[in-house]
Amino acid sequence: MLQDMGFESDVMSALNSDPNRRPPASEQFIANLPKVNDFCAADKCCVCLREFVVNQVVALECGHKFHTDCITRWLRLNNSCPVCRTEFPTDDQEYETNKRLKRQKEATLQELHHSMFS
Ligand SMILES: [Zn+2]
Ligand SMILES: [Zn+2]
């Protein structure tokens, strides 16, 4: 139990200290992004830098707009707006599990590496 708690706080501090290790946005959040058609012709998607196409634009809560495909791909890697870094909901449970599995995998790979090269 104590070990578990130590692990959790370790994860939390890693999360807070490393901005590159953000969880992806929640799938439900991505699925429910509102479509918008009130963009101006001069507006461009900040992910791919191309112009917007009618019926393929969604707006984030912060007001920034992106192609549906672009922001979907982005939010599956990152839980924040690519422009202003506003953070969005995540499937925390899943993130924790993935993180745990990833760590285990890394540890296993390291062990393997050591046993192969030492
Ligand atoms: Zn785009
Ligand atoms: Zn934004």
Phi, psi of 67 (to 5 degrees): -60, 145
Report pLDDT digits (tens) over 44-54: 999 999 999 99
Range 52-58 average pLDDT: 94
Distance 81 CA to ligand 2 centre (A): 5
| Ligand 2 midpoint to CA 31 (Å) | 18
Express each pLDDT in 64-116 by its tens digit.
Answer: 999 999 999 999 999 999 999 998 888 877 665 776 788 899 999 988 888 88
Alpha carbon of 45 to ligand 1 centroid (Å): 4
Contact 84, 46 (CB under 8 A): no
Q: Is 56 a residue whose pLDDT tops 90?
A: yes
Between CA 25 and CA 87 the distance in angstroms is 8
Cα(80) to centroid of ligand 2, in Å? 8
Ligand 2 centre distance from Cα of residue 99 (Å):
26
**Residue 25 three-state SS:** strand
Domains and CATH numbers, the chain: 20-91 (3.30.40.10)
Whole-angstrom Cα distance, residue 86 to residue 61? Answer: 8
State the CB neighbour count (10 A cutoff) for residue 32. 9
More confident residue, 42 or 36: 36
